[in-house]
Amino acid sequence: MGFVYQDYMLFPHKTVWENIAFGLQIRRINKNEIQEKIDEMMEVFNISHLAYRLPRTLSGGEQQRTALARALIINPKVMLMDEPLGALDRKIRESLIKELKNVHQKFDTTIIHVTHNFDEAIALADRIAIMNNGQISQVGDSTEIFRHPKDKFVADFVGVENIFAGFAREGDGKPTVIDTGNISIYSVEKREGDVHVTVRPEDITLSLAKVTTSARNVFEGQIKEIIDQGALIKLTIDVGEPLVVFLTRQSFLDMELNIGKVIWTYFKATAVHLF
């Protein structure tokens, strides 16, 4: 079993080469094989030029690559990683995510990766488990977790923006109708009684005038809040319930939107998840 700590935990008195060699040396692997394996591993992580440097002279990204190489060189059946990218800046984190994907393919090692970063989880995980007070709340692939949360904790944790409480009624051969007390929402999921409704902001479309559409959920509303998030603009629209929608910056500028403007919102019954 290999282990990569959040704070790297490299031996401060050993060079990069010596850190990576440690697991092989205590297994009494012969020196020629150790050298061969280290050369290969340092090449994988692009740290060959750092072989005789001490950890205190390395950047965060270089230390993390060394820690990964040290854990992988023993060819573990399972590798545990405790928020291994948490202390790195965005550019280095993105680079290491790419390297970790390549490492997983190359070594075919099962990796258990603890993280609070959803980008890491989506980019790296085959399966995701959401933990709540030491208990697993939900397990699934990224689509299941992010689009079909099983309860309010998971929905809140993965950042679902639109969560409404309501009462669901099944129609005869028709979509389920959920009454929130303010609006009625249609869903293809079959459920009756008290439920929570979630709708992903990216599944909602907007128009300045009412248009003909196959979407079952059509609401007119007024823009109450605009938050600039860089590449995306986050809108909160009062349709009877506060509906959060994401727009690209260009779409936002083209539509000339502002606080108080009345706009139409649309989303399909298939985009509505119930729990």
Residue 243: what pLDDT? 97
Rounded to 5 degrees, what are φ and ψ at 149?
Answer: -65, 145
In the chain, what are the domain boundaries? Answer: 2-126, 199-268
Residue 3: what pLDDT? 92
Kind of pairing between the strands at 262-267 and 272-274: unpaired
Q: Residues 168, 191: contact at Cβ < 8 Å?
A: yes
* Residue burial 33-45, b: 16+ Cβ < 10 Å; e: rest: ebeebbeebbebb
CATH number of 2-126: 3.40.50.300
Cα torsion through 264, 217, 118, 95, rounded to 10: -60
Q: pTM of the predicted model, to two decimals?
A: 0.75
Residue 56: what pLDDT? 96
- For 199-268, CATH number out of 2.40.50.100, 2.120.10.30, 3.40.50.300, 3.40.640.10 equals 2.40.50.100
Residue 82: burial class (beta carbons within 10 Å; 0-12, 13-18, 19+) = middle
Q: Residues 249, 234: contact at Cβ < 8 Å?
A: no
Residue 118: what pLDDT? 82
Would the CATH topology of 2-126 be identical to that of 199-268? no
Residue 8: what pLDDT? 84
Residue 89: what pLDDT? 80
Residue 86: what pLDDT? 78
Q: Cα(18)–Cα(98) distance, rounded to whole angstroms?
A: 26
Residues 228, 237, 148, CA angle at the centre, nearest 5°? Answer: 90
Residue 193: what pLDDT? 95
Residue 173: what pLDDT? 72
Q: Cα(38)–Cα(237) distance, rounded to whole angstroms?
A: 57
In order along its 275 residues, the chain shows pLDDT tens digits of 999 988 889 999 999 999 999 999 999 999 999 999 999 999 989 999 999 999 999 998 899 899 999 999 999 999 999 988 877 788 888 888 888 888 888 888 899 999 988 888 888 999 999 999 999 999 999 989 988 999 999 998 888 899 999 999 987 778 999 999 999 999 999 999 999 999 999 899 999 999 999 999 999 999 999 999 988 999 999 999 999 999 999 999 999 999 999 999 999 999 999 99
